[in-house]
């Protein structure tokens, strides 16, 4: 009798904890750092009355949680919208058949280069890869102007780069392969290694090493650079290759998941994320550059118009990444 | 005990529930990788020389960590349980602190400490650094295991030794051989924890076998390869535990309860002992904590207030889940241990062991693949999936802890009650449970601490929109100022400590009852 009561209690607990009214909710998985993404999602919730249920992850940990979760959930999706900090992960999901097209009216004036041709993903608020440098260790005149300068003797042992197998560094290296060709990119990586480049565990680690003066400069993203400056670090940053191949621009991307349980609300969230309002907010909180025209941003945020961008196709870059992954693994491991 | 008895039915239901809810998802995933996604022969191709060398490196690291942790844990355990060294109570509690803190946070603190003091963190970002940090984390575990074995030695054995020889020979020839099983258990358990540890080597940029598995997951999204590589780890852990089980089947393991025999303590000079204990406390607790404090207060009180605000919504959920998880784990541990004790079979122990040996991420993926079906949404979309994760990961430790306490109960007690015609349930209620209350409490507390800090599996399966403490700390850490991260860590630590103290005071009357029960 007691066992039966226990079993019934267990069943009730499972049902109570497992079921809830889900008609006015949206489920979003995001690899954008929670400190920046959560306030935007809360604002959406406030404005629309739609409850946002989020699963957060972080680029710092290579987005393992959400990406692997989305792949593992493919046959019975739980997520409506995936908000990524870069385009490569959404392209990867598209290639695995996990996304579905949605052309958001909110993104009409965003340049086509920042959208998937079939609308499987749409870009907004961009970051850029930058070189940050410690002002105590490197004078303005010694700051390299090109990524290829980092292989020069005078920077020996003084440059940090995150593991190229993960995060935006993967994207950066794959873009270099796409733009410069395999031979030149491989030569660059080999020379970088010969010049005793420090391979950090993440972009955050690169930032930390430069701030602490362990190395003079390093490749990272604009949000890391701005965060360091906000914290009072004596660092500067530059956009690279403004007279050559251009600087890599990395928009956030958002995509609708195929067979999403709340696709209607998912579309509403996508429209919100792709709005000027969100871009203004992200410019304020983490120095991201709007892709819409006429968005009000703080004075210190550079305009995309003032940067010579690297001319890349995101789909091709994603394919290139797949082709060079084994090479990158060997490069990173054979230190 | 008959097959129709209530005890047998509870055992069977618990065993089947565990097998179905926790072991089946793993078996399902492993089998699908081995057989569905390619033939076994094809899949075995991943065993190249490079992988084996990496496995060797991980095994060497785990061996060194297990060796030094056991050595240091035994020394501290001896001083705190067998001598009259001053401030024993203080050291007993404070030396446990590294167990409460996430290994990742401790790594951050250690790296920053090296930078603050030496201006360079190169030394700590190495094989040696990983070994050092892991040793500081696992020494408390060894201290608990060997310490309890030392305090349970029958004092008559040592006193007989003292009649014919000196302290040194008694220690070497009587005391240490008597706790050999605990030493081996400590070594084996720490070896398994170390070889499966990912966050510390990954943070220091040291490539080991677990980082290779992570690369397959996160860079290549190759689940099959990651699962196959993990199966090697599982195999090693099972072989080790099998060997340990074979030779130490009847040996004490992870006991924290009192046995009823009085303990012999030695009068020693405080100088060296205090120096050793204070030295180890400085290295393993003070250095990383001072670094965390400095970083925490660098941002002023604003960051601490912000950290409280961020963590506040997670408290109720996290504590509720960890509490429920700890209750379930303690129940499973009790049933498994009771089954072994009453010779219902040892297969439950093996099921607990297999799940324990599986890396967290693989366990998480297995749970997703198995439970993410429309008809199982009731489990997958609710808290039940998190509780399943906790139960899978920590029931083995609870079962060992409770099992050892049961092994120390004389058979005659139960037999006498049986002759009197007392039913099995009443024997459990009136004899067994009252006698092992301290161990049940210890199993509950350890399960609670581990569940409250669990990250690896929970981050893979937690329901969207759920606020859970370790996940919040982890996801906020990226790009948040160091002062905020350190403040959050200190708050998590304080909350854990406060709850444990609360439990301790709540359970005090129970332990008091137990002591008077034992004495009667």
The domains of chain A are located at 24-126+250-303, 127-248+319-333
Interface contact B274, partner A, CB < 8 A: no
Structural domain that includes position B187: 57-298
Establish if B373 touches chain A: CB-CB under 8 angstroms. yes
The ipTM, to two decimals, is 0.77
Residue A112 neighbours by CB under 8 Å, 6+ apart: none
CB contacts of B130 in chain A (<8 Å) are none
Q: Which two tokens stand for residue A56?
A: 């957060």
Q: What is the 3-state secondary structure (H, E, C) of chain A?
A: CHHHHHHHHHHHHHHHHHCCCCCCEEEEEECCCHHHHHHHHHHHHHHHCCEEEEEECCHHHCCHHHHHHHHHCCCCCCCCEEEECCHHHHHHHHHCCCEECCCCHHHCCCCHHHECCCCCCEEEEEEEEEEEEECCCCCHHHCCCCHHHHHCHHHCCCEEEECCCCHHHHHHHHHHHHHHCHHHHHHHHHHHHHCCCEEECCHHHHHHHHHCCCCCEEEEEHHHHHHHHHCCCCEEEECCCCCCCCECEEEEEEEEECCCCCHHHHHHHHHHHCCHHHHHHHHHHHCCECCCCCCCCCCCCCCHHHCCECCCCHHHHHHHHHHHHHHHHHHHHCC
Residues of A in contact with B223 (CB under 8 A): 68, 71-72
Q: Among A118-127, B228-237, B414-423, which range has the highest average pLDDT?
A: A118-127
Answer whether residue B412 shows pLDDT above 90. Answer: no
Q: Provide the chain B residues 219-248 that lie in CB contact (below 8 A) with chain A.
A: 219-221, 223
CA distance A133 to A130: 10
Whether residues A51 and B372 touch (CB distance < 8 A) is answered with no
Closest residue on chain B to A93 (Cα): B221
Given A62, A199, A212, which is nearest B205 (Cβ)?
A: A199
Give me the percent of chain B exceeding a pLDDT of 90: 25
pLDDT of residue A116: 94
Both B388 and B265 in one domain: the answer is no
Quick one: B326 and B178 in the same domain? no
pLDDT, residue B248, reads 55
pLDDT attached to residue B362: 82
Residues of B in contact with A59 (CB under 8 A): 478
**Torsion angle in degrees (nearest 10) through CA of B332, B334, B339, B341:** 150
Handedness of CA B305, B307, B312, B313 (dihedral sign): positive
**Cβ–Cβ below 8 Å for B478 and A79:** no
Give the closest of A18, A27, A36 to B464, CB-based. A27
Residue B51 forms part of a structural domain: no
Among A303-312, B43-52, B282-291, the minimum mean pLDDT is found in: B43-52
Indicate the residue of A55, A64, A73 with minimum beta-carbon distance to B372: A73
Please list every residue in chain A whose beta carbon sits closer than 8 Å to the beta carbon of residue B16: none
Q: Tell whether B67 lies on the interface with A, counting CB pairs under 8 A.
A: no
Statement to judge: residues B283 and B352 lie in one domain: no
Which chain B residue shows the shortest CA-CA distance from A58?
Answer: B475
Token pair recorded at residue B189: 């358990």
Question: Number of structural domains, chain B?
Answer: 2
Report, as an integer, the average pLDDT of A129-150.
Answer: 95
At which of B270, B298, B326 does a domain end? B298
Co-location of B84 and B221 in the same domain: yes
Rounded distance, CA A36 to CA A63, Å?
A: 15
Average of per-residue pLDDT values in chain A: 89
The answer to whether residue B464 neighbours chain A at the CB level (below 8 Å) is yes
Residue B52 covered by a domain: no
| C-alpha gyration radius of chain A | 22
3-state secondary structure of B452: helix
Q: Which residues of chain B lie closer than 8 angstroms to A213, CB-CB?
A: 119
State the burial class of residue A244 (Cβ atoms within 10 Å of its Cβ: 0-12, 13-18, 19+): middle
User: What confidence category does residue B237 fall into, taking pLDDT thresholds of 50, 70 and 90?
Assistant: confident
What are residue B440's phi and psi, to 5 degrees? Answer: -60, -40
Question: To the nearest whole angstrom, how far is the Cα of B74 from the nearest Cα of chain A?
Answer: 35
A276 touches chain B (CB under 8 A): no
The alpha-carbon gap from A28 to the nearest alpha carbon of chain B, in Å, equals 8
B286 and B355 housed in the same domain: no
- Which pLDDT belongs to residue A18? 46
Residues B98, B193 within the same domain: yes
Considering only CB atoms, B381 lies closest to which of A18, A92, A165, namely: A18
B203 occurs within a structural domain = yes
Structure tokens at A37: 């993404």
Mean pLDDT (whole number) for A45-50: 96
Provide the pLDDT for residue B500: 80
Q: Are the C-beta atoms of residues A175 and A310 closer than 8 Å to each other?
A: yes
- Fold match between domain A24-126+250-303 and domain A127-248+319-333: yes
Q: Which residue of chain B has the CA closest to A56?
A: B475
Q: For the residues B347-369, what does the mean pLDDT come to?
A: 85
CATH superfamily of A127-248+319-333: Periplasmic binding protein-like II (3.40.190.10)
Are B41 and B65 within one domain?
no
Across residues B451-468, what is the average pLDDT? 88
* Spatial distance between the Cα atoms of A135 and A140, rounded to a whole number of angstroms: 8
A152-167 average pLDDT score: 93
Question: Are B10 and B104 contained in the same domain?
Answer: no
Evaluate whether B215 touches A165 at the Cβ level (below 8 Å). yes
* B464/A28 touch (CB, cutoff 8 Å), yes or no: yes
Over residues B315-326, the mean pLDDT reads: 95
Average predicted confidence (pLDDT) for chain B:
83
The pLDDT value recorded for residue A15 is 46
Asked if the Cβ–Cβ distance from B365 to A76 is below 8 Å, we say no
Distance CA B489, CA B104 (A): 11
Residues B5, B106, single domain; the answer is: no
From B331, B328, B327, B333, select the one nearest B398 (Cα to Cα): B333
pLDDT over 80 at A324, yes or no: yes
* Chain B positions in Cβ-Cβ contact with residue A286 (cut-off 8 Å): 479
Q: Does A306 touch chain B (CB under 8 A)?
A: no
Q: How many Å apart are CA B178 and CA A230, to the nearest integer?
A: 59
pTM to 2 decimals? 0.82
Q: Are residues B20 and B78 in the same domain?
A: no
**Lowest pLDDT segment from A62-76, A169-183, B237-251, B500-514:** B237-251
Alpha helices in B262-344 (DSSP H): 270-281, 287-298, 300-341
pLDDT of residue A64: 60
Domain A24-126+250-303 belongs in CATH node 3.20.20.140: no
CA atoms within 13 A on the CB side of B102: 27
10 Å CB burial of residue B287 (0-12, 13-18, 19+) is middle
Q: What is the pLDDT of residue B43?
A: 59
Nearest Cα of chain A lies from the Cα of B145 at a distance, in angstroms, of: 33
How confident is the model at residue B42, as a pLDDT? 61
Angstroms from A80 CA to nearest CA on chain B: 11
Q: Are A240 and A130 in contact (CB under 8 A)?
A: yes
Residue A196 contacts B where some CB pair is shorter than 8 Å: no
Provide the pairing of β-strand A122-134 with A51-56.
unpaired
- What's the gap in Å between the CA of B446 and the closest CA on chain A? 24
Tell whether B320 and B187 lie within a shared domain: no
Which of B280, B298, B316 finishes a domain? B298
For residue B437, what is the domain's CATH number? 1.10.3720.10
Residues 6+ apart with CB under 8 A from B10: A3, B335
Smallest Cβ–Cβ distance between B373 and the set A76, A227, A329 belongs to A76
Distance CA A64, CA A72 (A): 12
From B298, B314, B346, give the residue that closes a domain: B298
Return the pLDDT at B246.
66
- Higher pLDDT among residues A19 and A233, named by residue: A233
Query: Are residues B327 and B361 located together in one domain of the fold?
Result: yes
Q: How confident is the model at residue B253 (pLDDT cuts 50, 70, 90)?
A: very low
Taking alpha carbons only, the member of B11, B2, B18, B15 closest to residue B338 is B11
Give the residue from chain A lying closest to B481, CA to CA: A231
Q: Is the dihedral of CA B73, B208, B488, B475 positive or negative?
A: negative
């Amino acid at each position: 009798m007691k066992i039966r009561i226990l079993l019934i209690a267990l069943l009730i607990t499972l049902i109570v904890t497992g079921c809830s009214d889900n008609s006015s909710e949206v489920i979003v998985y995001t690899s954008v750092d929670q400190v920046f993404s959560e306030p935007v999602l809360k604002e959406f919730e406030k404005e629309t009355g739609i409850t946002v249920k989020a699963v957060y992850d972080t680029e710092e940990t290579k987005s393992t949680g959400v990406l692997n979760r989305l792949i593992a959930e493919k046959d019975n999706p739980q997520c409506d919208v995936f908000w990524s900090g870069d385009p490569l992960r959404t392209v990867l999901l598209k290639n695995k058949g996990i996304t579905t097209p949605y052309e958001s009216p909110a993104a009409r004036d965003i340049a086509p280069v920042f959208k998937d041709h079939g609308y499987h993903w749409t870009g907004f608020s961009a970051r850029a890869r930058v070189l940050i440098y410690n002002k105590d260790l490197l004078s303005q005149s010694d700051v390299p102007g090109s990524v290829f300068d980092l292989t020069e003797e005078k920077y020996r042992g003084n440059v940090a780069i995150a593991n190229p197998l993960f995060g935006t560094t993967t994207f950066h290296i794959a873009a270099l392969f796409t733009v410069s060709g395999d031979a030149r990119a491989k030569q660059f990586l080999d020379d970088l290694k010969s010049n005793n480049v420090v391979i950090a565990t993440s972009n955050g680690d690169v930032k930390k090493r430069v701030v602490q003066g362990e190395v003079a400069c390093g490749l990272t993203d604009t949000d890391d650079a701005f965060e360091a400056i906000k914290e009072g670090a004596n660092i500067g940053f530059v956009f690279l290759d403004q007279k050559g191949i251009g600087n890599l621009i990395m928009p956030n991307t958002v995509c609708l998941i195929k067979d999403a349980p709340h696709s209607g609300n998912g579309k509403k969230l996508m429209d919100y994320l792709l709005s000027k309002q969100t871009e203004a907010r992200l410019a304020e909180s983490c120095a991201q550059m709007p892709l819409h025209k006429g968005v009000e941003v703080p004075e210190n945020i550079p305009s995309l118009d003032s940067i010579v961008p690297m001319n890349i196709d995101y789909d091709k870059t994603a394919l290139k990444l797949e082709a060079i992954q084994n090479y990158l693994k060997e490069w990173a491991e054979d230190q | 005990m008959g097959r129709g008895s209530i005890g047998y039915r509870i055992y069977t239901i618990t065993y089947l529930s565990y097998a179905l809810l926790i072991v089946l998802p793993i078996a399902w995933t492993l089998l699908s990788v081995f057989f569905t996604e390619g033939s076994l022969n094809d899949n075995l191709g991943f065993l190249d020389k490079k992988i084996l060398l990496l496995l060797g490196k991980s095994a060497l690291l785990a061996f060194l960590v297990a060796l030094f942790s056991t050595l240091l844990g035994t020394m501290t355990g001896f001083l705190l349980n067998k001598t009259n060294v001053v401030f024993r109570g203080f050291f007993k509690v404070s030396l446990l602190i590294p167990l409460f803190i996430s290994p990742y946070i401790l790594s951050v603190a250690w790296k920053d400490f090296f930078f603050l003091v030496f201006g360079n963190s190169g030394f700590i970002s190495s094989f040696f650094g990983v070994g050092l940090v892991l040793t500081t984390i696992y020494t408390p575990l060894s201290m608990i295991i060997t310490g309890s074995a030392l305090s349970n030695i029958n004092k008559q054995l040592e006193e007989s030794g003292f009649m014919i020889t000196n302290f040194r020979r008694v220690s070497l020839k009587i005391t240490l051989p008597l706790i050999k099983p605990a030493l081996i258990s400590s070594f084996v358990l720490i070896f398994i924890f170390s070889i499966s540890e990912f966050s510390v080597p990954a943070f220091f940029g040291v490539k080991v076998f677990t980082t290779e598995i992570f690369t397959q997951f996160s860079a290549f999204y190759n689940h099959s390869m990651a699962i196959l590589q993990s199966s090697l780890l599982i195999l090693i852990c099972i072989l080790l535990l099998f060997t340990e089980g074979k030779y130490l089947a009847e040996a004490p393991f992870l006991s924290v309860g009192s046995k009823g025999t009085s303990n012999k303590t030695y009068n020693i000079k405080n100088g060296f002992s205090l120096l050793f204990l204070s030295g180890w406390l400085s290295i393993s607790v003070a250095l990383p904590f001072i670094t965390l404090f400095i970083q925490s207060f660098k941002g002023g009180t604003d960051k601490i207030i912000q950290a409280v605000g961020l963590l506040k919504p997670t408290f109720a959920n996290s504590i509720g889940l960890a509490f429920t998880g700890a209750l379930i784990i303690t129940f499973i541990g009790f049933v498994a241990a009771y089954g072994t004790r009453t010779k219902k079979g040892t297969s439950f122990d093996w099921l607990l062991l297999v799940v324990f040996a599986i890396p967290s991420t693989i366990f998480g993926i297995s749970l997703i693949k198995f439970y993410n079906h429309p008809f199982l949404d009731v489990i997958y979309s609710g808290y039940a999936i998190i509780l399943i994760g906790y139960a899978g990961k920590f029931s083995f430790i609870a079962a060992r802890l409770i099992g050892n306490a049961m092994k120390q109960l004389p058979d005659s007690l139960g037999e006498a009650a049986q002759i009197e015609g007392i039913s099995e349930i009443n024997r459990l209620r009136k004899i067994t449970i009252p006698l092992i209350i301290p161990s049940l409490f210890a199993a509950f507390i350890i399960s609670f601490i581990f569940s409250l800090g669990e990250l690896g599996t929970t981050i893979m399966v937690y329901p969207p929109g759920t606020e859970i403490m370790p996940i919040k700390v982890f996801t906020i850490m990226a790009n948040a100022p160091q002062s905020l991260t350190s403040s959050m860590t200190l708050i998590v630590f304080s909350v854990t400590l406060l709850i444990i103290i609360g439990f301790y005071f709540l359970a005090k009357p129970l332990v008091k009852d137990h002591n008077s029960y034992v004495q009667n």
